[in-house]
Amino acid sequence: MRRLKVSLVAVFALAGLVALIPGGAMAASHATVTIGQVGALSLNSHNQLVSFTVNTPPLAPASPAGKTVTVNVNSNTKFMPMSGTTTSNPFAANDFVWASGGVGKHQYASTVKYDTAPFAVPYAKRTFNGKFVSIVAIVPPADGSLVIKNSAGKDLTFNTNAKTAYRLNGKRQKTQPAYTLGERMTVYGQEYTDGSWLAQRIDAFKK
């Protein structure tokens, strides 16, 4: 499935207080969460996975690429496939992951979720305000996309799909409305492990 990257600093709400950490990892309570794509896997002499690197998505337009973060695991780490796809050890390079904990010396991940395709990041929903710039219609099986400009003048890009809901001046719409350049919008977004954002709902306000 095609995913478009969003040009913004990702902000998350995870189990209370959250602070962004360089490299796409974040601290919340006592855990560090890392999202991105698996790079290298390190195995011990018994062919057991002991750590892996994660190439995290960019967190700002000025960053040409994300950071590389090492996540440590042990026998207590719980591995959770997000679909029926399974691979060895238990995943492979280029799979997408969400890891809780495991960043830093003597730190081990409690949970690692993974899949061959990007999936929704737990607790990573956010509301975005801006003005309409452009939209690409959904043509199955491909997703559509929406671009709005925020108050800082930056273009924010979101995916849209068949589950995206639409409201116009507070009223639910059965289909995607026609938008006008500069029209005020609120987008309710869900982040994915590749750094893209899905517009779960789009509210537009016509004068």
Alpha-carbon gap, residue 189 to 199, rounded angstroms: 5
Mark whether 78 and 143 lie in a shared domain. Answer: no
Please report the pLDDT score of residue 30 as a whole number.
53
Please report the pLDDT score of residue 89 as a whole number.
64
170: in domain: yes
> Which CATH number fits the domain that encloses residue 171?
2.40.50.140
Mark whether 35 and 92 lie in a shared domain. Answer: yes
Please report the pLDDT score of residue 23 as a whole number.
35
Token couple for 36: 């991105």
> Which CATH number fits the domain that encloses residue 54?
2.40.50.320
Domain count for the chain? 2
* Strands 165-168, 197-205: pairing kind: parallel
CB-based contacts of 132, cutoff 8 Å, min separation 6: 148, 179, 180, 181, 182, 183, 184, 185, 204
Please report the pLDDT score of residue 134 as a whole number.
97
Please report the pLDDT score of residue 207 as a whole number.
81
Domain assignment of residue 172, given as a range: 122-205
Please report the pLDDT score of residue 66 as a whole number.
79
12: in domain: no
188-199 pLDDT tens trace: 999 999 999 999
Please report the pLDDT score of residue 198 as a whole number.
96
Token couple for 38: 């698996």
Mark whether 90 and 152 lie in a shared domain. Answer: no
Reported in sequence order, the residue ranges of 44-104 that DSSP labels E, i.e. its strands, are 49-55, 68-72, 78-81, 96-101
Mark whether 25 and 41 lie in a shared domain. Answer: yes
Mark whether 136 and 110 lie in a shared domain. Answer: no
Residues of the chain predicted below pLDDT 50: 1-29, 60-64
- Full-model pTM: 0.80
